[in-house]
Chains A and B, each alone.
Chain A
């Protein structure tokens, strides 16, 4: 493993970083280890009922009638709701993107169902089993409609329509041109043209989505405990649907068993609240695994047709991309995948011109949604495969072709043609380090030797930018209106009267170790030890600061949350220094914060503990400096300084902070079974300042394994009737401890100039290049059979089919 280079510290000279950068073990672990953590399903309220949802068995149908009388009559049932009910009892929700017509979306289907698993009716009963018994007594009459499952079929003029008023299934279509695309293609010595496809998969957090809703009959406050990871957005959606103000809606998140972007479903919160209102008792809804796999969300499948204009020396002059995203019945946030592909399309390369035609199409499948990487695993797959193909076409090696095109280190901060501003990085160094750590030449020799023995070994690699922090301004491109913009987070730092420090933010942790890392950061700012700082677990809309951007997505923590936390901590720090300076009668410049005390640097005996400062701030108010506000608390609402809006040329900073990585893999493919075994897997990544290296490494492991599982094992499968065939973990295969290779990790640290501590995102990380890396390796392993990998997944069946397909074209000894 390469030694870590020293990290430049943007803090004032003389004050060093003591805790940031330490691999401290986690503060939150004891409760998880002892079984005393509290997840949403652990919430128990007096009189609480349990909800069950009746879901459509059809991919596409009109709802003719729903008769729930027998369900309501079942003993133990306290509330039943149908689509007609919720239409009367709630306001419709709107998607982020104005789909050309305004569909009226409610938490239950009203006139039509558009995917298998869509909620049609709901029951609240004394227990889940009784609620499910009641579902059996609800009679729904459907009139079947033609499903449409394939995105390109959904684009045809004769396709079945999900929204007949729309006249087609296209929820968004737009073209973008940056730089002289036409000129580049005209001047090209070579044009490469490839088609790539990706399947549906998702991170499937082990804890499913849930909500417990309670309406207080006295105050009218609606409290909802849920593991929804996007409270900044969900609060407004839920309040509007229920007809209450956000001041009346109390959203609480406790411990969350994994999120990965998947846990967002305002409709379930609305439904639980409507049932609670109807029953006048608290109601809990928790998805079971089948419901989760069928109906929560899936990462979008799609097609990317990519053309590259290339000069004969290997320089890629321009890209033309035609991108089709299959959104399923996504009524919440279509265009998410498209925007993030567009925003990051040149990957690590200095490609000067880009044409992008993006289409988002609806099909009668589960709604697409945010999943680790959102669109970028596909984007990276397409661009990296293109690079491999280009190398082959030009007769050069895949490493050389990439070096030729890498953005050089002196070019940072680097603006890509589409408007992304890459903050910092040294892609060549990352690549070198990965090749060295992997022993790339040696892997190639192993592969060649194995091939001589008749074994199919392959060496593959991929480079990736791993962007973090989504800029809400991106939606200006798709909506044509500025409703949301910018990126940030909110945080509060409070020194309690006894001198301990408390931090709360608008984010919702789901395993990223915030309760450990936040104290490290604040400890450095306030000169205390991390043990003296407590980061509030979970989220509470009534006591945590938050704004629309608040929540868990796009690796924003290292930039946005840290910006807010450092901002708040520095405000508190200034206040501490002002109070101490006044009490100690010393000028501010002479003071230092360390070891839980404020002291005069030249005479440390003149000091106050943080508790003593707090005593003045909270109790001994007349001792405060003149004009000073009592209290020792600050909030900081942070806005990223680099979050701009699209310019007149439609350039957009879709994401703001850029980690980069290189993955190298050695695989062995069994041609008889199609199984891919990973013999070696190496990651070198650069996420800027590592706030806690142990946590970073854990996230690299986890995100890389998501990419491995998504490539080699996982696939949501639908038949032509739109029936989903993968609704349990027996059909949808997750990687186990037997499937994961050892992952050797090298770390580089090129701090970001745009974040408070130079840290960049690391949560999505490995999920982005892993599919490309494995595809590269599998193709290498089967190259001699004539196999080409342009499509994912690479499950055993798919690999076997590729081999059979290649053999059919070129029969003969392998």
Chain B
């Protein structure tokens, strides 16, 4: 199968690869770029473990072919923490609210939450539940995840409201 060359930006860095047309974005990230933070849970677009941000919007990397992403800008969980160190407020909130147990759904949840809060900085609980409903978690029962996202929203809104940009608030 003839390979294609792709050039894209992942977590702010320019990368390139030679991919078979059938190679999924998830496999390209995990195997060709060694970014194993993106996880594969179902390969049919239901569980959301493979969620990454494409131009800032959450997508299922298991349902995209790497070859489709030439010229694209991708953010994975490895790109969430601020360059200077520390954690993104969403990561921090997940930590505080015990929003992870086995951690397998966590990267997908974090990115989905980040995208949600950028689009809707003050979501209601119902909105958080709805936005996260495309990410399955088998461990936590979701309640702490919902709580963490709401905490992160408060903090990001607070930081923005105070006139400054909170850590990571200006990213993506």
0/1 per residue, A721-738, Cβ < 8 Å to B?
000000011100011111
B144 at interface, CB cutoff 8 A: yes
A513 at interface, CB cutoff 8 A: yes
Task: Please judge, given known A-B contacts A34-B78, A289-B42, whether A702 and B141 are in contact too, CB under 8 Å.
Answer: yes
Task: Please judge, given known A-B contacts A42-B36, A729-B44, whether A33 and B138 are in contact too, CB under 8 Å.
Answer: no
Q: Which parts of A240-262 form the interface with B (CB within 8 Å)? A: 255-260
A26 at interface, CB cutoff 8 A: yes
B40 at interface, CB cutoff 8 A: yes
| Contact A203 B138, beta carbon cutoff 8 Å | yes
**Set of chain A residues within 8 Å of B42, measured between Cβ atoms:** 289, 728-729
**Alpha-carbon gap, A459 to B107, bound state (A):** 38
A444 at interface, CB cutoff 8 A: no
B10 at interface, CB cutoff 8 A: no
Our pick among B20, B37, B98, B128 for the contact of A35 (Cβ within 8 Å) is B37
Q: Which parts of A186-243 form the interface with B (CB within 8 Å)? A: 203-208
**Set of chain B residues within 8 Å of A208, measured between Cβ atoms:** 41
Task: Please judge, given known A-B contacts A129-B20, A738-B133, A742-B143, whether A510 and B102 are in contact too, CB under 8 Å.
Answer: yes
**Alpha-carbon gap, A35 to B111, bound state (A):** 11
**Alpha-carbon gap, A697 to B141, bound state (A):** 11
Our pick among A34, A206, A511, A738 for the contact of B37 (Cβ within 8 Å) is A34
| Contact A37 B98, beta carbon cutoff 8 Å | no
0/1 per residue, A698-712, Cβ < 8 Å to B?
110111111000000
Main secondary structure of the interface of A (DSSP, over half): loop
Size of interface on B: residues with Cβ below 8 Å to A:
57
Task: Please judge, given known A-B contacts A25-B95, A730-B44, whether A32 and B106 are in contact too, CB under 8 Å.
Answer: yes
**Alpha-carbon gap, A257 to B137, bound state (A):** 10
B136 at interface, CB cutoff 8 A: yes
**Alpha-carbon gap, A55 to B135, bound state (A):** 29
B35 at interface, CB cutoff 8 A: yes
| Contact B101 A698, beta carbon cutoff 8 Å | yes
| Contact B138 A701, beta carbon cutoff 8 Å | no
Tell me, rounded to whole Å, the shortest Cβ–Cβ distance linking B106 to chain A. 5
**Alpha-carbon gap, A37 to B103, bound state (A):** 8
Most central of A256, A260, A289 by chain B CB within 10 Å: A289
0/1 per residue, B132-172, Cβ < 8 Å to A?
11111111111111100000000000000000000000000
Our pick among B100, B132, B138 for the contact of A737 (Cβ within 8 Å) is B132
0/1 per residue, B26-58, Cβ < 8 Å to A?
000011001111111111101101000000000
**Set of chain B residues within 8 Å of A205, measured between Cβ atoms:** 102, 104, 138
| Contact B133 A737, beta carbon cutoff 8 Å | yes
Nearest neighbor of A730 in chain B, beta-carbon distance: B46
**Set of chain A residues within 8 Å of B30, measured between Cβ atoms:** 41-42
Task: Please judge, given known A-B contacts A511-B139, A737-B145, A742-B143, whether A39 and B100 are in contact too, CB under 8 Å.
Answer: no
**Set of chain A residues within 8 Å of B110, measured between Cβ atoms:** 33
Task: Please judge, given known A-B contacts A289-B44, A737-B145, whether A257 and B39 are in contact too, CB under 8 Å.
Answer: yes
Tell me, rounded to whole Å, the shortest Cβ–Cβ distance linking A201 to chain B. 12
Our pick among B49, B77, B129 for the contact of A34 (Cβ within 8 Å) is B77
| Contact A35 B36, beta carbon cutoff 8 Å | yes
**Set of chain A residues within 8 Å of B64, measured between Cβ atoms:** none
**Set of chain A residues within 8 Å of B44, measured between Cβ atoms:** 289, 728-730
Tell me, rounded to whole Å, the shortest Cβ–Cβ distance linking A18 to chain B. 21
**Set of chain B residues within 8 Å of A28, measured between Cβ atoms:** 103
Tell me, rounded to whole Å, the shortest Cβ–Cβ distance linking A732 to chain B. 10
**Alpha-carbon gap, A511 to B106, bound state (A):** 12
**Alpha-carbon gap, A735 to B141, bound state (A):** 8
| Contact A729 B100, beta carbon cutoff 8 Å | no
| Contact A740 B141, beta carbon cutoff 8 Å | yes
| Contact A702 B98, beta carbon cutoff 8 Å | no
**Alpha-carbon gap, A258 to B137, bound state (A):** 10
Task: Please judge, given known A-B contacts A256-B102, A511-B139, whether A207 and B39 are in contact too, CB under 8 Å.
Answer: yes
B76 at interface, CB cutoff 8 A: yes
**Set of chain A residues within 8 Å of B140, measured between Cβ atoms:** 698, 701-702
Nearest neighbor of A255 in chain B, beta-carbon distance: B103
A29 at interface, CB cutoff 8 A: yes
A91 at interface, CB cutoff 8 A: no
Task: Please judge, given known A-B contacts A695-B98, A705-B142, A742-B143, whether A32 and B103 are in contact too, CB under 8 Å.
Answer: yes
**Set of chain B residues within 8 Å of A510, measured between Cβ atoms:** 102
Q: Which parts of B62-107 form the interface with A (CB within 8 Å)? A: 76-78, 80-81, 87, 91, 94-96, 98, 100-107
B22 at interface, CB cutoff 8 A: yes
A441 at interface, CB cutoff 8 A: no
Q: Which parts of B94-132 form the interface with A (CB within 8 Å)? A: 94-96, 98, 100-107, 110, 128-130, 132
**Set of chain B residues within 8 Å of A702, measured between Cβ atoms:** 101, 138-141
**Alpha-carbon gap, A274 to B108, bound state (A):** 35
Tell me, rounded to whole Å, the shortest Cβ–Cβ distance linking B101 to chain A. 3
Nearest neighbor of B49 in chain A, beta-carbon distance: A206
0/1 per residue, A76-108, Cβ < 8 Å to B?
000000000000000000000000000000000
**Set of chain B residues within 8 Å of A730, measured between Cβ atoms:** 44, 46
**Alpha-carbon gap, A686 to B130, bound state (A):** 33
**Alpha-carbon gap, A505 to B126, bound state (A):** 42
A177 at interface, CB cutoff 8 A: no
Tell me, rounded to whole Å, the shortest Cβ–Cβ distance linking A38 to chain B. 7
A804 at interface, CB cutoff 8 A: no
**Alpha-carbon gap, A272 to B143, bound state (A):** 38
**Alpha-carbon gap, A78 to B68, bound state (A):** 30
**Alpha-carbon gap, A705 to B146, bound state (A):** 14
Nearest neighbor of A727 in chain B, beta-carbon distance: B44
Tell me, rounded to whole Å, the shortest Cβ–Cβ distance linking A574 to chain B. 35
A743 at interface, CB cutoff 8 A: yes
Tell me, rounded to whole Å, the shortest Cβ–Cβ distance linking A36 to chain B. 7
| Contact B102 A206, beta carbon cutoff 8 Å | yes
**Alpha-carbon gap, A698 to B145, bound state (A):** 10
Tell me, rounded to whole Å, the shortest Cβ–Cβ distance linking B150 to chain A. 12
A512 at interface, CB cutoff 8 A: yes
**Alpha-carbon gap, A204 to B133, bound state (A):** 17
Nearest neighbor of A36 in chain B, beta-carbon distance: B37
**Set of chain B residues within 8 Å of A32, measured between Cβ atoms:** 100, 103, 106
A288 at interface, CB cutoff 8 A: yes
**Set of chain B residues within 8 Å of A204, measured between Cβ atoms:** 138
A476 at interface, CB cutoff 8 A: no
| Contact B100 A35, beta carbon cutoff 8 Å | no
Our pick among A38, A512, A701 for the contact of B141 (Cβ within 8 Å) is A701
Q: Which parts of A38-52 form the interface with B (CB within 8 Å)? A: 38-39, 41-42, 44
Tell me, rounded to whole Å, the shortest Cβ–Cβ distance linking A157 to chain B. 42
| Contact B95 A701, beta carbon cutoff 8 Å | no
Task: Please judge, given known A-B contacts A206-B104, A698-B101, A729-B42, whether A258 and B143 are in contact too, CB under 8 Å.
Answer: no
| Contact B138 A694, beta carbon cutoff 8 Å | no
| Contact B145 A289, beta carbon cutoff 8 Å | no
**Set of chain B residues within 8 Å of A256, measured between Cβ atoms:** 102
**Alpha-carbon gap, A26 to B98, bound state (A):** 8
Task: Please judge, given known A-B contacts A203-B138, A257-B39, A729-B42, whether A34 and B20 are in contact too, CB under 8 Å.
Answer: no
| Contact B129 A738, beta carbon cutoff 8 Å | yes
| Contact A35 B102, beta carbon cutoff 8 Å | no
| Contact B144 A35, beta carbon cutoff 8 Å | no
Nearest neighbor of A740 in chain B, beta-carbon distance: B142
| Contact B136 A206, beta carbon cutoff 8 Å | yes
Task: Please judge, given known A-B contacts A33-B87, A257-B103, A730-B44, whether A129 and B22 are in contact too, CB under 8 Å.
Answer: yes
Tell me, rounded to whole Å, the shortest Cβ–Cβ distance linking A16 to chain B. 25
**Set of chain B residues within 8 Å of A41, measured between Cβ atoms:** 30, 36, 39-40
Q: List 27 A-B contacts (CB under 8 A).
A: A29-B94, A32-B106, A33-B100, A33-B103, A34-B91, A35-B38, A39-B39, A42-B30, A206-B138, A207-B41, A255-B103, A257-B103, A257-B104, A258-B102, A288-B43, A510-B102, A511-B100, A511-B101, A512-B101, A513-B101, A701-B140, A702-B138, A703-B141, A734-B47, A734-B136, A736-B133, A743-B143
A-B contacts besides A206-B49, A511-B102, A701-B141, 13 pairs, CB < 8 Å: A29-B94, A33-B106, A35-B107, A37-B103, A206-B139, A258-B102, A510-B102, A512-B101, A695-B98, A729-B47, A730-B44, A736-B135, A737-B132
Nearest first, the 3 A-B pairs at minimum CB distance are: A35-B37, A32-B103, A511-B102
